[in-house]
Amino acid sequence: MNLDEKVYSELAQLVTEHKSELFDQIAAQRTDYISVVIENLYKEHNASAVLRTCDCYGIKKLHVIENENEYKVNREIALGAGKWVDIENHSTGNPPTLECIKSLKEKGYKIVATTPHTEDYDIYNIPIDEPMAFFFGTEFSGLSQEVLDHCDMKVKVPMYGFTESFNISVSAAILLSAIRKRLGDTELKWKLKHEEQIKLKTDWCMKNLSRGKEIEEEIRRRLIEKES
C-alpha cells in the first residue's frame, strides 16, 4: 500500500464497520466525468434540492456560480448532502460565469447548457464520449447569455405538456438519471480512479470524526516517520 492507502486504512478503523462499507460501495460509483453547475440560483429550497440530487446520482462536485445571489444550503432539504458532495463556489471574475466556464474547459469538460429552447440534443442522444459539465440556470430566466454563447452543446429534457420547464431540481434529476444510465451501458472510464476513491473516502472519514483533520494529519505524520 502507498501512504494514502495506509492513512485511509487506519482512519477507516475509527468509523463504524457499516460506515466503512458504505464508503467503499458509494465511492466506487462516484464520478467526476459529469459535473453539475448552477448559475445564480436565489431560491434556497431549489439550490439545496440540486445538491441532494447530485449526491443521489453519484456526482462528486457541484459548481456554484454566484453572480448576484449567495448560495445557501437548507439543511432540511439537503439532508446532509453537503457532507458528501464537493461544492466549488465561483464568485470572482468579470463575470464569474466566464471564469467558471474557462476553468472547466481547461480541465477537459464540454460545457453543456440545459435549455428547453433547443433542438440540438436531448438527454437521450447528446454525445457522452467526453466529460461534461451541465449548466442549470435560474428558476425563471434560465441561463445567462454568457453560458449560451460559450457552451459547446445545448440539451433539453423532453416535455409533453403545456408547462415550459421543470423545476430545476427535477430537471437535474431527470437529466442525471438518463446520463448515468447511458454511461453505465458503455465501456467509458467514467468512474473515479482507485487513488481518487482513496482520497475521497479519506475526506469522508475526516468529516465523520471529531477533530478528523487533526487525526488524519497525526496518522500521516506517524507513518512518514516510520518509513523514513
Would you list the domain boundaries of the chain?
3-25+198-227, 31-184
**HEC string of 5-26?**
HHHHHHHHCCCCHHHHHHHHHH
Distance between CA atoms of residues 105 and 220, nearest Å = 34
Which pLDDT value is given to residue 174?
A: 96
Give me the percent of the chain exceeding a pLDDT of 90: 71
DSSP per-residue codes, 159-211: --SS-----HHHHHHHHHHHHHHHHHTS----SPPHHHHHHHHHHHHHHHSTT
Q: What is the pLDDT of residue 48?
A: 81
pLDDT for residue 78: 44
Give the 3-state secondary structure of residue 103: helix
Q: In CATH, what class is 31-184?
A: alpha beta
What pLDDT tens digit does each residue of the chain (228 aa) get?
A: 899 999 999 999 999 999 999 999 999 999 999 999 999 776 666 778 898 899 999 999 999 998 665 555 545 444 456 688 999 989 887 789 999 999 999 999 999 999 988 999 999 999 999 999 999 987 677 899 999 999 999 999 998 887 777 888 899 999 999 999 999 999 999 999 999 999 999 999 999 999 999 999 999 999 999 887
Say if residue 95 is preceded by a cis peptide, omega within 30 of 0: yes
Residue-level pLDDT at 122: 96
What is the per-residue pLDDT across 45-81, written as a single tens digit (0 to 9) for each?
677 889 889 999 999 999 999 866 555 554 544 445 6
196-216 pLDDT, tens per residue? 999 999 999 999 999 999 999
